[in-house]
Structures are given as structure tokens and as C-alpha cells.
Structure 1
Amino acid sequence: MTDDAIAPKRSCDQDQDQDQNPVPGLPLHDLAGFTHRWVDAEGIRLHAVEGGQPAGPTVVLLAGFPQTWWAWREVMPGLAERFHVIAIDLPGQGHSDRPQGGYDTHTVASRVQAALTALNVPKYWLVAHDIGAWVAFSLALKYEERLHGVALLDAGIPGITLPDSIPTDPDRAWKTWHFAFHLVPELPETLLAGRERDYVGWFLKVKALSPNTFDDAEIDHYAAAIAAEGGLSASLAYYRDAAESARKNHDALERGHLTVPVLGVSSSHGSIPDMAASISPWAENATGVLIPQAGHFIPDEQPDATVDVLTAFIDHERVE
């Protein structure tokens, strides 16, 4: 039996048990064929949604701002036909704990890895979007031996590809203006409290190629996750800790570049025109693919194409 073929450990503290849910007031969506789990990750509880083929290669999914694991809901069934699939809510996201601190991506990466260790996953393929990709890049630097490969979807990485300044050209500024806003102490919380749905709705409608990509129920779900206790501050904390994430990324890269296969997934109307080119100076084995007819939210906008490119990446690297 290979590393890929080890089924997740089942223990009493990891069974589906909504009593463990740290955000009980937030509706919990079910996905056919998948099970909700809560696992200890260095003293906090992380929410994982698991399904697919227990004996297949494991694919781990991380979502970004302003979403939760639900961002992968249309991708997970397709991947589950061949893979063991685990989508994880990051700290502060969805139905995971919302700790007071520790949102630099190396700390978060340690917690994600701890959760996967608790789930008895020895080695896996990592797929991540937006802030999830920030965490995935740092996780690859820290735990490269645990990865078969990593796919990064439309994300600027702190200290690597994230720009140091916000453009003032209106045609470009709308894509990145929020980075500076989220860094301001207290003001975003003051302005956004009670207006989370308006704020979340702007991102989901404007950054998708089609403004109709997300329906009202989906916007309500993501807004409720951020509005729930601690959710807004936790979402902002990833940006506020981005400088520390960048410093730790550079410290790690001084010890060596990534050798694990990296797939950069770009979209025709996304934020980063060529993910592979942006990552390749830091990775020895980086390839890229562009998904047409998609904006920033690639898994929501083109789920079938996302499944296809991820499956092709895994198949290619397994053959190699």
C-alpha cells in the first residue's frame, strides 16, 4: 500500500459531530458523499470536509477570501471520482476556530499540516486559491517532503509575487485596493460591521467574469461566515500579517527553492496573468495553464475545467 492509499484514521474525536463545531450559529452545508470533520491542529479546531476514494491519491483544497471550503463544492464531486478529497477551512474561516493571532502563513501552514497529520494523511497533492495559495506556498516551503505537488490558483504570494505598492490606475487598482484597506487598524471593522454582505458581494460580483456567477444564497453564506463572531477580524488578519508571511517566505527561500512540482493556474480575466511565470524564479519545476472564460474565482466559474487541469497535472507528475 502506497502513501496515497492509506485511508484516513477514524477516531471518536474526529467523527462527524456538530457539537464540536466552533461556529454553531453558522449554517453548515452538506455535500453529497462528503463528511464534516473537526480535528485538533496545534490547539485549535479546524473544519475539514472529506470524501471520495479512500484508497486514491489525496487532494487537499484550501480556499481564500472571502470564501470557505464551500468554494470547492462544484469541483469536489469531480475530483472524488478518482481521488480522496479533503477541503479545509483555514483558521478564522468558515467553521474553523478563530484564534486571536497567528495568521502569518507559516503559522497557518503548520496548523494545516497538523490537521492533515491528525487525519492520517502522510502525503498529498495541495490545491489552493487566493489566500489559500499564500498558505500553500509557505506550507510547501516548510513541509515539501509531505507533498507530491502543489497547484496555486490566481494569487499574489506575500514577498514573492504580491506587489509592494497599489497601482493608482483605476483600470488596475480595483483588483488590489483592499490590501491597503485591510492593513489599517480598526477602521475596516468599524466600517464593515453590519455591512459584511455588501462588502463580500462586491468581491464576488466584480472579480468574477460574470456578475451572475454567485447567487444570493452563496453571497449570504460567505457573508455570514465573515459576520460570525471573530470572522471579520480573522479575515483581515491574513493581510495584517502579510509582512511577516513575506519575511518568513524569504528566510525559507534562502535555504533553498521549491523542488516539488508546482502548477500555476491562471484565468483569462483573473488577477495574475501568468501564475507560472510569477512562481518560476522560486521553483525548480513550475508549469502553467490558463483557464478561459473565468475571472478570479476559477473553481466557481469553471469547475469542470478546474477538475480537468488538476487531474492532468496529477496524472502527468505521477507518470514522471
Structure 2
Amino acid sequence: MPSSFEGLEDNPVRDLPLRDLAGFVHRWVDADGVRLHAVEGGRIDGPAVVLLAGFPQTWWAWRKVMPSLAERFHVIAIDLPGQGHSERPERGYDTHTVAAYVHAAVRALGVSDYWLAAHDVGAWVAFSLALDFEDRLHGVALLDAGIPGITLPEAIPTDPARAWKTWHFAFHLVPELPETLLAGREREYVGWFLRMKALSPDAFDDAEVDHYAAAVAQDGGLRACLAYYRDAAESARANHEALERRRLTVPVLGISSSHGSIPDMAASISPWAENVTGVIVPDAGHFIPDEQPEAVAAALTAFIRDGA
């Protein structure tokens, strides 16, 4: 692999420290006018696997999974627009718009077809990407995600035992109030999600909370995080418009966890797709790649091997 930084001068978020992962390279590409950050490594001659993270994380969420995948695959973890070291555009956070940016970034990296694995908001984007660019995908794995219009419940529960898992969907939609309450308190907010939604409160150390909170606090980061939720109705509308024409035919793997937000991703996705299989990872909460990276790497490897 080349040096650990390529196109560093194109980094749009220079005040946020970069984290290195042995054997991987930081790159920035022009994705149809938006600069996206990618971390690339593994076997360049192997099948390509693209990884997307969700709220409130960055590509770093996949750091424990990437080395295992790199033994067999060409691995590319991408920061979504507004996330990590990617550009934070003013608008365009519905998942079909973002999916087009992600696909453009993959093409800019010289990859024409690939496998896709995504968690949380990353899975929102991945589902829309599969609808729009299915002919370029070999398969898509979706990890514990309340995808708007697809796996997200129609109503937020009022039972406190369940409401804490999805309450923020409504809060993030309120104009201006989240910004007022959260500016300067990003660490407390991000830390609550990481520690409450993981099965073990020790799943994330202070340095990891600091990293993700700093990414959200960087100029435009909080606005971008909220924008995915504020554009969720448009994302759901566009998903259903596409699904009126056809169901997904690309293989889909739903990965749930024993203590996650969506009990059975495969069952939730199956009405919309022809070929769905499922895995439930034990001893994990919402943040499955952080909590059980070996199980996630094994599930993705088997999915790709069986599909190939």
C-alpha cells in the first residue's frame, strides 16, 4: 500500500485529528462535487467490501472488523457526508442523494462493483443505494438500523422500556431546539448513545467517546447529523417510490443483535427484498461492530463467500 495519507490537502475537516489503522490508507475523493473521506486497505485484487457507519460514529466504528476482512478482501470504509473527515454540505441528506455520493466515491476509487455493509444511518443509505445501483452490488448487509419507511416502527413507543431506543428520531426533527440544547454538550450527548445502547457500559472508553464527540462538534457536524433525521421522510418516500416498481433482488443479509434496536432485521427487510437471510449476534447491543467484531467479520465473510 502507498503512504498512509493520499490527498491530505483535500481534507475538509483538518481540525479533527486523524486516526490511523495499520495497513490502511486515508484518501479523499471528489464524489460528484462533495469531498468524501475513505480508508482503504486489504487485498486490492480481492472482492471489494464497502463499509458505512452511522450516528454518532465515523469510519472508526469498523476498525476492529477491517483487519479481519482485509485478509481476503479489498476493504473501503467511507465517512458519509457530514461524518468524520468528509465534507459537510449545507443540504442533500436524504438517503438517495447520499447514496449517489457514496457510489460516486467508490467509482472514484476505481471500484466498479462491490459488496456493501452498513450500520445504523449507514444502513439507511445502503438500502437506498441498493435500490438505485443494484446492478453494481453483489450483496448488502444491514446492521441493526431503523431504516425510515422500511424497518423503523410507524410510531415511537411510549413504554419507557422501549422508548429510549428510538426517542431521538422525534427530538432530532424539532427545528432549532436540538442545536440549542446540544451545542457545547456534544460529548455528553454522544456518550449517552454509546454507553446506553451498547450492552456493556464499558464497550467504549473515554478516548473513543472523545473522538466521536469531536467529530459531531466540528463545524457543521451536528447540523449534518440532525439533517439525516430531518430528511428521513423524503428518504422513506423515495424508498417506497422505488419499491413500487420492484423489490430488491440483490442478496441482503440482516444482522441483528441480542440486545439491539431491531430484534430481527431479516424479518423487517423481507417484505421489500427477494433474497434475505439473517444473523443474530449474541452478547451485543446496538453497536455490533464495536461490541462483537469477530462475529461481524465472520458473518460478512460467510455472506460474501456463499454469494460468490
Structure 1 equivalent of residue 220 of structure 2: 230
State the match for 1:27 in structure 2: 17
Query: 1:165 deviation in Å?
Result: 1.6
Q: Which digits, 9 at most, give the CA deviation of each residue in 1:240-265, with x for residues without a partner? A: 00000000000000110000000000
SS at match of 1:32: coil
d(CA) in 1 for partners of 2:302 and 2:248? Answer: 21
Structure 2: give runs of 5+ residues left out of the alignment: none
- CA separation in 2, counterparts of 1:274 and 1:160? 13
One-letter amino acid of the counterpart of residue 178, structure 2: P
Other-structure match for 2:78: 88
Q: Which of 43, 48, 54 matches 2:44?
A: 54
Distance 1:24 1:100 in 2: 18
Instruction: Write the distance in 2 (CA, Å) between the matches of 1:168 and 1:290.
Output: 26
Q: Does 1:310 align with 2:305?
A: no
Tell me, in whole angstroms, the C-alpha distance in 1 between the residues paired with 2:47 and 2:107.
Answer: 15
Amino acid at match of 1:131: V
1:159 aligns with 2:149: yes
Aligned-residue offset at 1:179: 0.3
Query: Matched residues in 1 for 2:102 and 2:33: separation?
Result: 12
CA–CA separation in structure 1 for the residues paired with 2:166 and 2:146: 10
C-alpha displacement at 1:18, in angstroms? 1.9
AA in 1 matched with 2:49: V
Q: Does 1:76 align with 2:66?
A: yes
The residue type paired with residue 21 of structure 2 is L
1:290 and 2:303 are equivalent in the alignment: no
Is 1:270 aligned to 2:257, yes or no?
no
Between the aligned partners of 1:169 and 1:141, the Cα distance in structure 2 is 34
* Percent of matched pairs sharing the same residue: 78
2:147, 2:180 → 1: CA distance? 27
Aligned residues: 307
CA distance in 2, matches of 1:160, 1:290: 19
Deviations 1:88-132 (A, max 9, x none): 000000000000000000000000011011111110000000000
Shift of 1:166: 1.0
Distance 1:293 1:85 in 2: 26
Whether 1:170 and 2:160 are equivalent positions in the alignment is yes
| 1:34-53 to 2 correspondences below 5 Å | 34-53=24-43
What is the deviation of 1:217?
0.2
CA offset at residue 59 of structure 1?
A: 0.4
* 1:40-85 Cα shifts (integer Å, max 9, x gaps): 0111100000000010000000000000000000000000000000
Q: 2:184 aligns with which of 171, 175, 194?
A: 194
**SS state of the match for residue 288, structure 1?**
strand
Q: Tell me the residue number matched to 1:214.
A: 204
Look up the SS of the partner of 1:71 in the other structure.
Answer: helix
Distance 2:151 2:68 in 1: 30
* Counterpart amino acid of residue 78 in structure 1: S
CA–CA distance in structure 1, aligned partners of residues 95 and 303 of structure 2: 25
Q: Which amino acid aligns with 1:109?
A: A
Stretches of structure 1 that go unaligned for 5 or more consecutive residues are 1-7
2:179 is equivalent to residue 182 of structure 1: no
- Encode CA deviations 1:260-315: one digit per residue, 9 max, x unaligned: 00000000000000000000010000000110000000000000111001101111
The equivalent residue for 1:17 is 7
Give the 3-state SS of the residue equivalent to 2:6 in structure 1: coil
